[in-house]
Amino acid sequence: MAAQSEPEAAPPPQPVRPIFIIKRKKAGHAGHHGGAWKVAYADFVTAMMALFMVLWLMGADDKIKEAISAFFNNPTGPGTQTGTNAAGAGNAIQLAKDDMAKLREKMEQALKTMPNFREMKDHVEMTITSDGLRIELLETQAGMFFESGRPLPSATGAELLTRLAEELGKMPNDLLIEGHTDAKPFVTKDGFYSNWELATDRANAARRLMEAHGIRSEQVAQVRGYAARQLRHPEDPENAANRRISVIVQYVNPPPSPAKAVGEAPKAAGEPAKVVGEPAKVAGEAPKAAAEPAKAAAEAPKAPGEPAKAAPPAHK
């Protein structure tokens, strides 16, 4: 009987493979990173612009450098320099610093832009003198620019002085500010405040207001108070127009003609000395003329002597 085969051994069980569960998170948009990179980029662009500006300035001519220096010294823009912000202003003054005729025209155009200029145009006078352009604010009887007896400007006066300061501050010229009163005595009860103090205080108040609205502190060369010593209408000492504020725009380079005329004065004065010397010459000729009669007088006895010489033949 055949032997039965032994059953095959069962294979060992396979190890159970672990089950891994992978959870994938759905990715959304990345969060904002902030604006730090913008600041860094802006700094980089600014640095590059500064670099190119420096490179451009190093190659610029002296005129451009002077104009840029003038702008940074006075950001309001001196009108005589190029490259300032004065080009954007409708009434900017861009002319020669000593061309007073054109300056007067520009100032008139600038004042015409004021809303109430029609009311004050007859009381603002501009004249060209040997000192420069004189701008005078002539008072009315009611007191247009300064109320009677008060040192501070009125609203109209402050508006006009502000407009003047905005335009004159663009100029390199020095300014003189003068205060004048009429001849009507102004004395306070204590007697320590008169026309002298009033004229000076008004000029000083105009200076302070103009310095606050455009002109430079070093631009004002002098502040003067004349009281009633320089009347505009001497025939009418109490005329309201004698009360005035004068702003004088001085020449940067004074005109040479007056100095030349003064220099020629001694020469003209010396000419009479030359003429005076001529009479001396003529006087010197007088003895010569006097000598001729003496010579004639010396010859005179000779004439009477001739008959004496002729007399012997008569006796003969």
pLDDT for 308 equals: 45
Q: Please, what is the Cα angle at 139 between 143 and 184, to 5 degrees? A: 80
Contact present, 252 and 98 (Cβ < 8 Å): yes
Distance CA 106, CA 112 (A): 10
Encode pLDDT of 18-39 as tens digits.
887 877 776 655 555 677 889 9
Domains recognised in the chain with CATH numbers: 90-257 (3.30.1330.60)
Residue of 86, 99, 63 lying closest to 252 (CA atoms): 99
Which one is predicted more confidently, 147 or 212? 212
Which one is predicted more confidently, 202 or 312? 202
pLDDT for 4 equals: 59
pLDDT for 147 equals: 84
Sequence-separated (6 or more) residues with CB below 8 Å from residue 83: 64, 67, 68, 71
Sequence-separated (6 or more) residues with CB below 8 Å from residue 106: 91, 93, 95, 167
pLDDT higher than threshold 90 for residue 226: yes
Q: What is the DSSP string of 7-20?
A: PPPPPPPPPPPPPP
Residue 91, both tokens? 């009434």
Residue of 83, 68, 93 lying closest to 168 (CA atoms): 93
Confidence of residue 64 (pLDDT cuts 50, 70, 90): confident
Section 40-64 average pLDDT: 88
pLDDT, averaged across the chain: 75
Within a 13 Å sphere around the CA of 203, how many CA atoms are in the beta-carbon half?
Answer: 28
Residue 183, both tokens? 């001849």
Which residues are registered as beta bridge partners of 224? 178
What count of residues does the chain have? 316
pLDDT for 256 equals: 67
Q: How many CB atoms lie within 10 A of CB 194?
A: 15
pLDDT higher than threshold 70 for residue 268: no
pLDDT for 141 equals: 85
Confidence of residue 76 (pLDDT cuts 50, 70, 90): low
Q: Which amino acid makes up residue 94?
A: Q
Q: Which of 8-12, 61-65, 111-115, 202-206 has the lowest mean pLDDT?
A: 8-12
Q: Please, what is the Cα angle at 75 between 50 and 220, to 5 degrees? A: 150
pLDDT higher than threshold 70 for residue 58: yes
Which residues are registered as beta bridge partners of 225? 179
Which residues are registered as beta bridge partners of 136? 125, 246
pLDDT higher than threshold 80 for residue 81: no
Q: Tokens 């109209």 map to which residue?
A: 156
Distance CA 168, CA 277 (A): 55
Encode pLDDT of 140-196 as tens digits.
888 889 988 889 999 999 999 999 999 999 989 999 999 999 998 877 767 788 999
Sequence-separated (6 or more) residues with CB below 8 Å from residue 120: 114, 144, 156, 160
Indicate the pTM of the whole model: 0.51
pLDDT higher than threshold 80 for residue 281: no
Encode pLDDT of 150-159 as tens digits.
899 999 999 9
Residue of 180, 179, 171, 67 lying closest to 110 (CA atoms): 171
H or E stretch covering 269: helix 256-299
Q: What is the CA radius of gyration of the chain?
A: 49
Confidence of residue 305 (pLDDT cuts 50, 70, 90): very low
